[in-house]
């Protein structure tokens, strides 16, 4: 909004009470003075002066009006100011309650604002592209399992050619780990790339700041080697040279010619962890046009809906196209379906459901907080009946009384929100840091205008709803009954007592519900982290060595390079083994355990027919590898130094493979064919959960690294102390053989495990926190209500005690009442939990969402907290002195 609009708005507000015909010339004079002043003071001070003057104008007229008519009718803003002053005074008069309410609101609003800002950034907010709501992703589904799978290039080419519902359709393939050669004071670095088809940038409506985008010709020309680079890479490598187009990006894979530079704020929507440095045209292999046995993994297809085409229509059109293809290639399309989803939903994937779950849980927390505040305010309003009756006797209308309550509640709500947002500011930082790496758009999480608007809306709505409870209590009472009686004898109307009870039951129910959730996630996490992985993952560092990309090496030279590199690997291994602090070290060709990739081999057993899906994980390893990660040998022997090239080809298999492929037979001594090479099994080793705790143990086989051709290797080192302390010396050993090798940073197996269980950890922590908040807030609620109940019934209790009731009886009477509340609340909460159990089941690990133990535990914890909170008021009741109570009449 322009300044003049603001000024006009301010004038509208400030000049209420000034005759409208009078306003223009008042403003004209003000403007004249303001002009004169402008020469002397700064803008900010001028604005302040202007506002003060404006306000003084309006105030003078309103006072004049009051004096002239002598009605005493207050005008809106002054009445409001008076109500606010009154509210502040009365809130300060009951500091304990005010602080409690503010604390509860701060916790509730802080938690929900923080979670909302995460959920919003990750799953709800539009993608940062022009017309982002028209962006979609196309994927394939397994119609049998319902799982979403990577689209296949073969299908993409046909979709692209036949579709008429998208303005563009682009395929994206990961192109990771290309090493950019060093030079001119730069160390070599590993770049992340994406291979994309020509529609990619038009679909996203991104144009390069320099150069051009790819064309369809780039996809067929295998010799051009063109690349588009990110703004960051342009800065880093080319120092923002304006003549970068045509320059060479010198990688160990190929020498690329830069044809374009992307804008600074462009980030590929599809990113695993890091940002993408360069883009290549997708040059398809000939096999990718044939539906044979070449498959694509981790591919993406994105598109932009044509104007006027709904996503439903796009879906049915794609199904139609795919059905047409399926008629031609029935074998390929067995169990294969197609799905069109909004890109923002597809990106969030499973995380979206998770985020919505968190949002649901935190909504519960917020609901408890507000219910609690309503309850406390209602309790308080009963103790202030006298004050209200006096005001009403002095002529305050019911509207005036209602407004006073409303103002008070809104004031609390706004203050609570302000504190809550501050708490959230702090919490978001912690949340962002603790989120697992697979959460998309995590970097954009923060408290921004959207979040603030949501929080403010929440404050106002919450305040309005919360004030309903005391409002009902206050304005439904007629007359000035309490003025005639002493305050001690005052009892509360049945309606209000009922409302009190309902609120406390609701609070307990919500807390029970949250606690069950917390229990389920806690248990899942505990189970996931206590799964026996089959190896000892503590203090194990690993480093991938991929010294040369072989793509440009002529075939006849490859064997020599491979042999030389292998010798170097073993030399590095023996250097590392000799380092002080190293307990053991080994080499493995494939991925290390507890990480992403797994390599399966073609399996055959002479004399045996295996099922069609028979396969086996295969790694080639050095002699010391299994010992280094502490995988036990179950039968037979481990590899020895004598298992070398030229000696008999040998293999180890794990227990799972032995059980599956050699049931009731001794595997040691038998022959299996791995990738069509016969090897004799010399031993059986323990199972490893290669893919992490939540995947089942797979059949695995190992071959000596000396007996296979390896392109690269991973160095695995077990250390005595902190693994990272040895990263430097290990790098030294590697550089002694590969001086210009760019290495990804060393990681530990523990890091990997941490990353795999991170979603569970975050879930457990958040839900645990919510559960705790739920208990605390519910306990506060029980305490508040029971205290007021006891206070209101002091006289009745006094009479009962005068008539012979013992302190115990009184104590039990109070506790019995609490038990009723708790009982109804817990049963309600658990029932709700059971009904929603199916929703959370997919987020759990080895725990049933109806696990009775957890329900019982949650009830017990909540019951204990609730009774604990009621003990204090109950004892106060038991200590009532009948004499004093009755004298007070």
Partner 1 sequence: MANGSLGEFEVLVLLAVLRVGDRANGSAVRADIEATTSRRIARGAVYVTVDRLEDKGLLTSRLGPRPSPRGGPPTRFYRVSTAGRRAVAQSVSDILRMHAGLKANLPVVDPS
The residues that touch partner 1, with contacts defined as CB under 8 A, are 22, 24-33, 53, 56-61, 63-64
> What's the sign of the alpha-carbon dihedral 739, 743, 746, 752?
negative
Label the pairing between strands 248-250 and 189-196.
unpaired
Distances 38 to 11, 43, 54, 664, 705 between C-alpha atoms, Å: 19, 8, 16, 98, 83
Task: Provide, rounded to whole angstroms, the least separation between the CB of residue 87 and partner 1.
Answer: 28
Nearer to partner 1, 22 or 538 (CB): 22
Task: Provide, rounded to whole angstroms, the least separation between the CB of residue 28 and partner 1.
Answer: 4
Task: Provide, rounded to whole angstroms, the least separation between the CB of residue 58 and partner 1.
Answer: 7
Nearer to partner 1, 7 or 497 (CB): 7
For residue 305, report the phi and psi dihedrals to the nearest 5 degrees: -65, 140
In the chain, helix, strand, coil percent, each to 5? Answer: 55, 15, 30
How far is residue 620's CA from residue 579's CA, in Å, rounded to a whole number? 24
Task: Provide, rounded to whole angstroms, the least separation between the CB of residue 2 and partner 1.
Answer: 15
Nearer to partner 1, 33 or 602 (CB): 33
Nearer to partner 1, 21 or 609 (CB): 21
Nearer to partner 1, 25 or 307 (CB): 25
What does DSSP assign to residue 183?
B
Question: Which residues are within 8 A (CB) of 500 and not within 5 positions of it... i.e. 6 or more apart?
Answer: 375, 378, 379, 492, 785, 788, 789
Task: Provide, rounded to whole angstroms, the least separation between the CB of residue 25 and partner 1.
Answer: 4
Task: Provide, rounded to whole angstroms, the least separation between the CB of residue 80 and partner 1.
Answer: 19
Label the pairing between strands 650-654 and 671-674.
unpaired
Nearer to partner 1, 36 or 184 (CB): 36
Nearer to partner 1, 37 or 398 (CB): 37
Residue in this structure with the two tokens 């569970």, named with its chain if needed: 760
Nearer to partner 1, 15 or 136 (CB): 15
Task: Provide, rounded to whole angstroms, the least separation between the CB of residue 31 and partner 1.
Answer: 6
Nearer to partner 1, 24 or 868 (CB): 24
Q: Provide the token pair at 699.
A: 């059949």
Find the helix or strand (DSSP H, E) in which 296 lies.
Answer: none
Task: Provide, rounded to whole angstroms, the least separation between the CB of residue 66 and partner 1.
Answer: 11
Q: Are 746 and 724 in contact (CB under 8 A)?
A: yes
How far is residue 540's CA from residue 175's CA, in Å, rounded to a whole number? 28
Task: Provide, rounded to whole angstroms, the least separation between the CB of residue 408 and partner 1.
Answer: 31
Nearer to partner 1, 68 or 676 (CB): 68
Find the helix or strand (DSSP H, E) in which 359 lies.
Answer: helix 343-383
> Which residues, in sequence order, are bridge partners of residue 168?
304
Intra-chain end-to-end CA distance of the chain, in Å = 64
Q: Which of 273, 136, 37, 150 is nearest to 745 (CA)?
A: 273
Q: Annotate 224-252 with b (16+ C-beta within 10 A) or e (fewer).
A: bbbbbbbbebbeebbeeeeebbebebebb
Nearer to partner 1, 22 or 842 (CB): 22
Distances 697 to 329, 617, 655 between C-alpha atoms, Å: 34, 11, 10
How far is residue 196's CA from residue 352's CA, in Å, rounded to a whole number? 26
Residue in this structure with the two tokens 């229990």, named with its chain if needed: 519
Q: Are 336 and 140 in contact (CB under 8 A)?
A: yes
Task: Provide, rounded to whole angstroms, the least separation between the CB of residue 68 and partner 1.
Answer: 9
Cβ atoms within 10 Å of 44's Cβ, excluding its own: 8
Question: Which residues are within 8 A (CB) of 83 and not within 5 positions of it... i.e. 6 or more apart?
Answer: 403, 404, 407
Label the pairing between strands 135-142 and 300-305.
antiparallel
What does DSSP assign to residue 373?
H
Task: Provide, rounded to whole angstroms, the least separation between the CB of residue 54 and partner 1.
Answer: 8
Q: Provide the token pair at 20.
A: 């409208």
Cβ atoms within 10 Å of 760's Cβ, excluding its own: 23
Task: Provide, rounded to whole angstroms, the least separation between the CB of residue 57 and partner 1.
Answer: 4
SS3 70: coil
Q: Which of 565, 555, 386, 554 is nearest to 477 (CA)?
A: 386
Task: Provide, rounded to whole angstroms, the least separation between the CB of residue 85 and partner 1.
Answer: 22
Nearer to partner 1, 23 or 313 (CB): 23
Nearer to partner 1, 11 or 878 (CB): 11
Burial-class residue 153 by CB neighbours within 10 Å (0-12, 13-18, 19+).
buried
Residue in this structure with the two tokens 């395929």, named with its chain if needed: 171
Task: Provide, rounded to whole angstroms, the least separation between the CB of residue 40 and partner 1.
Answer: 14
How far is residue 493's CA from residue 803's CA, in Å, rounded to a whole number? 25
How far is residue 51's CA from residue 6's CA, in Å, rounded to a whole number? 11
Q: Provide the token pair at 150.
A: 């990577």
Nearer to partner 1, 31 or 133 (CB): 31
Task: Provide, rounded to whole angstroms, the least separation between the CB of residue 75 and partner 1.
Answer: 14
Nearer to partner 1, 12 or 186 (CB): 12
Nearer to partner 1, 2 or 609 (CB): 2
Task: Provide, rounded to whole angstroms, the least separation between the CB of residue 82 and partner 1.
Answer: 20
Nearer to partner 1, 33 or 571 (CB): 33
Nearer to partner 1, 65 or 772 (CB): 65
Task: Provide, rounded to whole angstroms, the least separation between the CB of residue 6 and partner 1.
Answer: 16
Distances 347 to 135, 256, 510 between C-alpha atoms, Å: 11, 30, 32
Task: Provide, rounded to whole angstroms, the least separation between the CB of residue 56 and partner 1.
Answer: 4
Q: Are 338 and 154 in contact (CB under 8 A)?
A: no
Helices (H) and strands (E) in the chain, counts: 25, 22
How far is residue 162's CA from residue 449's CA, in Å, rounded to a whole number? 43
């Amino acid at each position: 909004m322009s300044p003049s609009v603001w000024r006009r708005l301010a004038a509208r507000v400030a000049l209420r009470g000034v005759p409208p015909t009078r306003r223009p010339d008042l403003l004209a004079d003000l403007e004249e003075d303001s002009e004169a002043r402008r020469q002397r003071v700064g803008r900010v001070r001028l604005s302040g002066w202007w506002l003060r003057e404006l306000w003084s104008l309006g105030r003078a007229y309103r006072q004049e009006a009051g004096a002239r008519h002598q009605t005493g009718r207050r005008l809106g803003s002054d009445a409001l100011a008076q109500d606010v002053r009154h509210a502040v005074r009365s809130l300060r008069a009951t500091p304990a309650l005010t602080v409690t309410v503010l604390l509860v609101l701060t916790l509730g609003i802080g938690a929900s604002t923080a979670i909302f800002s995460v959920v919003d950034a990750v799953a709800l907010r539009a993608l940062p592209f022009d017309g982002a709501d028209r962006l979609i992703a196309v994927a394939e589904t397994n119609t049998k399992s319902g799982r979403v799978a990577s689209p296949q290039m073969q299908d993409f080419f046909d979709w692209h050619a036949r579709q008429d519902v998208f303005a563009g359709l682009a395929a994206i393939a990961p192109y990771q780990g290309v090493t950019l050669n060093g030079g001119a004071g730069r160390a070599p670095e590993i770049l992340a790339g994406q291979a994309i088809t020509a529609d990619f940038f038009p679909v996203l409506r991104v144009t390069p700041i320099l150069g051009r985008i790819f064309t369809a010709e780039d996809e067929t020309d295998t010799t051009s080697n063109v690349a588009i680079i990110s703004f960051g890479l342009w800065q880093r490598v080319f120092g923002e040279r304006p003549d970068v187009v045509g320059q060479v990006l010198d990688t160990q894979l190929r020498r690329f010619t830069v044809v374009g530079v992307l804008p600074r704020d462009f980030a590929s929507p599809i990113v695993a962890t890091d940002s993408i440095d360069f883009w290549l045209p997708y040059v398809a292999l000939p096999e990718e046009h044939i539906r044979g046995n070449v498959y694509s993994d981790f591919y993406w297809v994105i598109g932009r809906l044509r104007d006027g085409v709904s996503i439903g229509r796009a879906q049915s059109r794609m199904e139609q196209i795919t059905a047409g293809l399926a008629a031609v290639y029935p074998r390929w399309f067995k169990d294969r379906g197609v799905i069109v989803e909004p890109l923002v939903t597809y990106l969030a994937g499973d995380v979206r459901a998770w985020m919505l779950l968190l949002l649901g849980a935190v909504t519960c927390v917020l609901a408890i907080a507000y219910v609690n505040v309503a309850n406390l305010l209602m309790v308080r309003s009963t103790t202030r009946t006298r004050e209200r009756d006096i005001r009403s006797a002095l002529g305050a209308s019911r509207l005036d009384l209602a407004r006073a309550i409303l103002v008070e509640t809104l004031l609390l709500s706004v203050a609570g929100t302000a504190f809550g947002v501050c708490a959230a500011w702090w919490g978001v930082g912690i949340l962002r840091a603790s989120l697992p790496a697979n959460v998309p758009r995590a970097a954009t999480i923060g408290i921004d205008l959207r979040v603030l608007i949501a929080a403010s809306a929440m404050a106002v709505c919450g305040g309005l709803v919360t004030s309903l409870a005391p409002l009902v209590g206050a304005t439904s009472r007629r007359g000035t009954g309490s003025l005639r009686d002493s305050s001690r004898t005052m009892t509360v109307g049945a309606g209000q007592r009922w409302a009190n009870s309902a609120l406390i039951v609701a609070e307990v129910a919500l807390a029970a519900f949250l606690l069950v959730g917390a229990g389920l996630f806690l248990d899942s996490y505990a189970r996931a982290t206590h799964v026996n992985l089959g190896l000892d993952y503590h203090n194990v560092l690993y480093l991938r060595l991929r010294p040369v990309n072989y793509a440009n090496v002529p075939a006849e030279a490859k064997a020599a390079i491979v042999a030389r590199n292998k010798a170097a690997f073993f030399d590095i291994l023996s250097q590392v083994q000799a380092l002080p602090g190293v307990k053991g070290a080994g080499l493995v060709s494939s991925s290390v355990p507890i990480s992403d990739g797994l390599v399966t081999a073609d399996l055959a057993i002479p004399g045996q027919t295996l099922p069609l899906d028979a396969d086996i994980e295969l790694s080639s390893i050095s002699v010391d590898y299994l010992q280094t990660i502490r995988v036990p040998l179950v039968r037979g022997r481990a590899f020895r130094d004598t298992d070398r090239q030229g000696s008999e080809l040998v293999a180890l298999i794990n227990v799972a493979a032995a059980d599956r492929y050699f049931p009731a037979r001794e595997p040691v001594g038998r022959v299996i064919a791995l990738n069509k090479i016969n090897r004799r099994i010399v031993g059986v080793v323990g199972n490893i959960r290669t893919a992490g705790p939540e995947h089942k143990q797979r059949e695995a086989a190992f071959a000596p690294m000396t007996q296979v051709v390896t392109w690269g290797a991973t160095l695995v080192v077990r250390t005595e102390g902190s693994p990272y302390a040895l990263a430097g010396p290990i790098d030294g050993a590697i550089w002694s053989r590969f001086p210009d090798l760019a290495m990804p940073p060393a990681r530990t197996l523990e890091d990997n495990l941490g990353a795999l269980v991170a979603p569970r950890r975050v879930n457990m922590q958040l839900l645990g926190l919510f559960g705790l908040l739920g208990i605390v807030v519910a306990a506060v609620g029980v305490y508040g209500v029971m205290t007021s109940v006891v206070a209101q019934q002091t006289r009745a209790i006094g009479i009962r005690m005068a008539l012979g009731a013992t302190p115990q009886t009184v104590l039990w009477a109070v506790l019995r009442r609490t038990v009723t509340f708790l009982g109804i609340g817990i049963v309600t909460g658990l029932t709700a939990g059971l009904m929603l159990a199916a929703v959370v089941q997919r987020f759990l690990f080895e725990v049933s969402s109806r696990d009775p133990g957890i329900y019982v535990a949650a009830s017990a914890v909540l019951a204990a907290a609730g009774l604990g909170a009621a003990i204090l008021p109950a004892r106060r009741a038991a200590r009532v002195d009948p004499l004093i109570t009755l004298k007070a009449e």
